Amino acid sequence: MLAARHCASHSHEVIMKELLFISGLSVLALLAEIFNFKRFLPFLIILGLSGLFGICILDWNQAPFSIFGTGMMVVDHFTLAFTLLFSFITLLWFLTAQDYFQEETSLTDHYALALFALVGGFILVSYTNLAMLFLGIEILSIPMYVLAGSRKDDLLSNEAAFKYFLMGAFASSFLLFGIALVYGATGTFDLKEIHDKITNSPFSQNLFFAGLVLIFVGMSFKASLAPFHFWAPDVYFGSPTLITIFMATVVKISAFAAFFRLLSLAFFPMESFYIDLLWGMIALTLLVGNLFAVAQTNVKRMLVFSSVSHAGFLAIPLLCQSESSGNALFYYSLVYSIASLLSFTVLYLVDKNTGLQNTDAFSGLAKRNPLLAFVMSVSLLSLAGIPPIGGFFAKYFMLSLALSKNYLGLTLLAILGSLIGVYYYFKVLIAMYTNTKPQALTPEQNVQPFTLSYLHSIVLFFSALFLILIGIFPETFMTIISE
Amino acid sequence: MIPIFLIFFPLICGLLFLFLSGEKVKHLALISSLISLILSAYTWIQFNNSPESVLLKADYAWIPSFGVHFSVAVDGISLLLVLLTNLLFPLILLSSFNKSYPQYFYTLTMLMQSALLGVFTATDGFLFYVFWESALIPIYFICLLWGGENRAKITFKFFAYTLFGSLLMLIAFIAVYLKTPGTHSFSINALYQAGSLLSVTEQSWIFLAIFVAFAIKMPIFPFHTWQPNTYTTAPTQGTMLLAGIMLKMGAYGLIRWLIPLVPLGFQKWGFTAIVLSVIGIIYASCLALVQKDFKRLIAYSSIAHVGLISAGILCFNLQGLQGGLFQMFSHGLIIVGLFFIGDILSSRTGTQTMTELGGIVNHAPEFSKWFLIILLGSIAFPLTNGFVGEFLLLNGLYQYKPLLCFFGGFTVILGAVYMLKSYQTLMLGESNIYKAAGAQNFKDLTRTETAVLLPIAILILILGVYPSPLLKMTEPSVQLLLQNLKMSIP
């Protein structure tokens, strides 16, 4: 389906507005230190991201069009929808993560790094050439290696960065080798040409399959699909919480979108070869993510494992390619990103107030700050998939996709996973509403009022409301890519 | 149009209550529930005038790409349950006038009311599922926030159990949905058609998946293990909601969303389901005999009565269905009354253990009087509504298999034994033998308490003598269901 659109896309060339715009914004952030307009930077970035949002909406009716020379990248509705999602999530993230940027000394670097990662994200949702895929992955990953280790005095943060970098570099080399082998077999980097080649003309099968497997390893690593998820818990856990949010949302979604694009544009005809492999990985991801999350007492670690288990859901459209699988991926990504952003942010705020990250830290939150408890409940219920909140429709979309392709076993496994999920999400929920206060707190700590800044209250409340509303009125977002 | 008002009025009221505080919320909640009651009375009048009236239906596209419509309609069966819900809510609210955090409590109950009415009127499978699940969240929080000892663990068990059943139901619905022709649709008629065309094996699997969901909700043996603990730990109003209305969701689901959906699956597995129900009757009655805690006794008696209701419905003949529907209404009234009596006992004496109490009749004659009437309803004494319902149910069961009727009859016999025994222990005997502290001077009913028990007792007697309005209301819909089923079973 996407491939068909791709055919029609070479007709007119347009300048790469979106790409230039985000890159410009990142460079601007770097210049802020030199020309000393650091103070205005947050406003500029918020303005810039809103601008990006606007550009995507304006381009909507012109899509699909090809940018960057002879079709290295094609902007279609898939690209625009995901770019809208990225700019929206990044905007929310900038608004809620101001703490992180305030307390760091080299402020502008961090702004610039996050924005550069966004550039990588954009490339990953618009590439039509394997070379661009590799570039996108690297542009996305390298800033994240740095940001993961940005808390230099924290041992865990250093460990996270080191692990992330070593493992990431390893995975990138797998990916690159895979791309090289596929090139060797088919003689091209272009997704569409690969697609045509493997459907029609003869090519070197063994070389191609070896390349495909290596590409799968590389992409699964970036998307944290089991058994290549092992880096994720330590890296997500060790990184500063506010950076974890960015990793678990924008970075992860870009990896999935890239993976989806790769399969739907190029490798789809080879479905019979990789489908069992993918099935097994999804099943394993669902099991591992959920089972390990149950055992965690630290809420951050629990959320990290839950994010691994959601990777299992996000991978279902990769397995079941159909008319609606792009939509399913988008809707799930939207709901999952907002819910993750909210839950990690509340965790961060609670951690800041109490100095604790375990379930006990949430005790009595409903009494100490009802708004935060409400936001946390909405996001946890959404992650658990309870109607009428967005998460339910997202999961429903995935399950009906899997059932429509007759994956009954996978569906049952996904449901089992969701049930296990309910258990660990509700541990936090129960703590918030039943106990009176964290037991570990001293009386003095306890009298400190738990107040939020206006910015936090407003952003969190409206994001939670949005999460409920996209559940009640899902139609627009469920058909955004193919109408 | 009317169903839309029925569903959204409580929802909007509930959300408004969030922004109010203090004492006035409870009065407003009571008023809003009375308005709902009036609205449902108006629905009944409309229904009597013309059962096919367009006012009783509404249909809007909700998620067109999935073929999901917000379509709701009221027929005789739905109307009965709408009436029950809106009749019980004022009583439940009236009994709850001393809750902490009143605005949250009333918001949650109002959301619950909205979801329940949605379940009883939905004519779209997906919508039904969404309402079904949405009813679970408020009741979970009611039990979690205002419940008794050990509530976190017990309410979670209840939640996980029912969620498990619901998810099985969801898969079954999707499976049928994917068989609907064209761009797929979740509308009830499309699902009926697609469902009845499936092979026997497929229908059997779907029957089992959905049956488990409903069986957990009601609950039917052996899916009942969450129930006694949850009923005992939940706040009284939570128990009233659960036992009075929420379990009817399961029984209603059997009639509307299971048997007509997969007639062949029902034909194959219906007998097993009835046997399970009947086992439940005897099992729960025997357990009720040995309970020392009054609330637990009622919880077990509820399993027994619901077992008879489901057995009668699963016979799927006129008497069984009519009796099942009528008994759903009666059971709702009676069980709410009984749990309220349990609440009065435990709040005044600080204990629910029956052997620690006795001779209350000497202190509280009014209380004993209303208690006796409700109790007689519960043991299906002639001239009470319980008698009409259980008589029809046993009649239906006899037509299906006389032997099952023999075992089913134990509800009435054993019910009389444990209920009368508990009345004897609690109310009669010598006074001043209370061992529980603070029970020396048992005050008689206050006016609010009378206002709850009086309507229940009166309705028990009226419906016992003159049940035909309710029976007439459901009969055409039941006849239609029976006809349709006869056509689809060869």
pLDDT in tens, B281-329: 999 999 999 988 888 999 999 999 999 999 999 988 889 999 999 999 9
* DSSP code of residue B20: -
Q: Which two tokens stand for residue B181?
A: 């022709």
Cβ–Cβ below 8 Å for B151 and A434: yes
Q: What is the pLDDT of residues A268-282, one digit of tens each?
A: 888 888 889 999 999
Checking if the pLDDT of A2 tops 60, the result is no
Q: Of A252, A246, A235, whose CA–CA distance to A95 is shortest?
A: A246
Question: Is B160 near chain A, with CB under 8 Å?
Answer: yes
**Weakest-pLDDT range from A340-344, A467-471, B406-410:** B406-410
The Cα–Cα gap between A113 and A102 comes to 15
- Residue range of the domain that includes A328: 2-478
Please tell me the total number of residues recorded for chain B in this structure. Answer: 490
What pLDDT digit, counting tens, does each position of B97-155 carry?
667 777 888 888 999 999 999 999 999 999 999 999 999 989 998 888 888 788 888 88
- Residue A67: phi and psi, rounded to 5, are -125, 170
> Which distant-in-sequence residues (6+ apart) come within 8 Å of A66 by Cβ?
A9, A10, A12, A13, A14, A73, A74, A75, A128
CA pair distance B123, B59, nearest whole angstrom: 9
**A68 CA: distance to closest CA in chain B (Å):** 35
In a domain, A483, yes or no: no
- Identify whether A166 is part of a domain: yes
Closest to B260 (Cα-Cα) out of B2, B412, B453, B487: B487
SS (H, E, C) chain A: CHHHHHHHHHCCECCCHHHHHHHHHHHHHHHHHHHCCHHHHHHHHHHHHHHHHHHHHHHCCCCCEEECCCCCEEECHHHHHHHHHHHHHHHHHHHHCHHHHHHCCCHHHHHHHHHHHHHHHHHHHHECEHHHHHHHHHHHHHHHHHHHCCCCCCHHHHHHHHHHHHHHHHHHHHHHHHHHHHHHHHCCCEHHHHHHHHHCCCCCHHHHHHHHHHHHHHHHHHCCCCCCCCHHHHHHHHCCHHHHHHHHHHHHHHHHHHHHHHHHHHHHHHHHHHHHHHHHHHHHHHHHHHHHHHHCCEHHHHHHHHHHHHHHHHCHHHHCCCCCHHHHHHHHHHHHHHHHHHHHHHHHHHHHHHCCCEHHHHCCHHHHCHHHHHHHHHHHHHHHCCCCCHHHHHHHHHHHHHHHCCCHHHHHHHHHHHHHHHHHHHHHHHHHHCCCCCCCCCHHHHHCCCCCCHHHHHHHHHHHHHHHHHHHCCHHHHCCCCC
The predicted model gives A214-224 an average pLDDT of 92
Instruction: Report the pLDDT value the prediction gives residue B436, as an integer from 0 to 100.
Output: 53
With residue B457 as reference, give the H or E element that holds it.
helix B447-465
Burial A179-209 (b: 16+ CB within 10 A, else e): bbbbbebbebbbbbebbbbbeeeeeeeebbb
Higher pLDDT, A157 or A62: A157
What are the domain boundaries of chain B? Answer: 2-488
Contact status, residue A345 vs residue A245, Cβ threshold 8 Å: yes
Q: How many C-beta atoms surround the C-beta of residue A446 within 10 A?
A: 14
Looking at residue B334, its pLDDT comes to: 93
End-to-end CA, chain B: 38
A240 and A150 Cβ atoms separated by less than 8 Å: yes
Residue scoring higher pLDDT (B476 or A446):
B476
Q: Do A400 and B174 touch (CB under 8 A)?
A: yes
User: Which of B129, B130, B157, B202 to probe the A interface (max A CBs under 10 A)?
Assistant: B130
- Does A434 touch chain B if contact means CB atoms closer than 8 Å? yes
B63 and A386: CB-CB below 8 Å? no
The pLDDT, as a whole number, for residue A6 is: 46
Q: What is the pLDDT of residues A363-408, one digit of tens each?
A: 888 888 889 999 999 999 999 988 888 899 999 989 989 988 889 8
Sign of CA dihedral A366, A368, A373, A374: positive
Amino acid at A293: A
B12 touches chain A (CB under 8 A): no
The per-residue pLDDT for B432 is 52
Q: Can you give the pLDDT at residue A361? A: 85
pLDDT for B279 equals: 92
Mean pLDDT, chain B, whole residue set: 87
pLDDT tens column, A29-41: 888 878 877 778 8
Search chain A and give the residue with CA nearest B173: A400
CA angle A352, A356, A360 (to 5 degrees): 125
Amino acid identity of A177? F
Q: Which value does ipTM take for this structure?
A: 0.85
Q: What's the token pair of residue A308? A: 């691994």
In a domain, A107, yes or no: yes
**CA dist B437 to B149, B317, B341, B344, B351, Å?**
20, 52, 19, 15, 9
Tokens of B110: 């109002």
CB contact under 8 A, A475 and B144: no
* Euclidean distance between CA atoms A340 and A465, whole angstroms: 15
DSSP label at residue B334: H
- As a whole-number percent, the residues of chain A with pLDDT over 90 amount to 41
Contact between A381 and B144 using a beta-carbon 8 Å cutoff: no
pLDDT of residue A8: 43
**What is the predicted pLDDT for the residue at B209?**
93
**How many separate domains does chain A show?**
1
Of the candidates B211, B222, B289, the one whose C-alpha atom is nearest the C-alpha of residue B254 is B211
Per-residue pLDDT of B31-55, as tens digits, reads: 999 999 999 999 999 888 888 887 8
Nearest-Cα distance to chain B for A460, in Å, is: 18
* pLDDT given at position A445: 65
Q: Which residue has the tokens 């609670």?
A: A350
- Report residue A352: phi and psi, to 5°: -65, -40
Q: Which of B139, B145, B163 to mutate to test the interface with A (most CBs of A within 10 A)?
A: B163
What would the pLDDT profile of B209-219 be if each residue is shown by its tens digit? 999 999 999 88
Residue in this structure with the two tokens 């502008």, named with its chain if needed: A108
Q: Is the pLDDT of residue B17 over 80?
A: yes
Inform me whether the pLDDT recorded for B349 exceeds 70: yes
B178: nearest CB among A381, A403, A479: A403
**DSSP state at residue B293:** B
CA distance B124 to B186: 5
Chain centre to alpha carbon of residue B318: 21
What are the residues facing B63 on neighbouring strands?
B68
Q: What is the pLDDT of residue B277?
A: 92
**DSSP one-letter code for B70:** E
pLDDT of B437 over the 60 cut = no
Burial of A48 (0-12, 13-18, 19+ CB in 10 A): buried
Neighbours of B17 (CB within 10 A): 25
Among A388, A251, A228, A223, CA closest to A316 = A223
> Is the CB of residue B309 less than 8 Å from the CB of residue B269?
no
Mean pLDDT for all residues in chain A: 86
pTM: 0.90
Between CA A228 and CA A31 the distance in angstroms is 38
**Can you give the pLDDT at residue B82?**
93
Asked whether the predicted pLDDT for residue A446 surpasses 70, the reply is: no
Q: What is the pLDDT of residues B359-408, one digit of tens each?
A: 788 778 888 888 999 999 998 888 889 899 999 999 999 998 889 888 88
pLDDT at A65 over 80: no
> In sequence order, what DSSP letters do the residues of B226-262 get, joined into one string?
THHHHHHHS-HHHHHIIIIIIHHHHHHHIIIIITTTS
Question: Which residue of A290, A422, A461 to mutate against B (max B Cβ within 10 Å)?
Answer: A422
Instruction: Tell whether omega for the bond before B476 is within 30 degrees of 0, i.e. cis.
Output: no
CA distance linking residue B444 with residue B364, whole number of Å = 4
**Across B427-443, average pLDDT:** 63
Quickly state the pLDDT bin for A302 (edges 50, 70, 90).
very high
Q: Do A386 and B133 touch (CB under 8 A)?
A: yes
Distance (Å, whole) CA B451 – CA B92: 11
Which pLDDT score, from 0 to 100, does residue A5 have?
A: 45
- Nearest chain B Cα to A397, which residue? B66
Query: Which pLDDT tens digit goes with each residue over B402-422?
Result: 898 888 888 888 989 999 988
A138 vs B182: which has the higher pLDDT: A138
What's the gap in Å between the CA of A141 and the closest CA on chain B?
Answer: 36
Nearest to B175 among A381, A403, A475 (CB): A403
Return the percentage of chain A with pLDDT > 70, whole number. Answer: 93
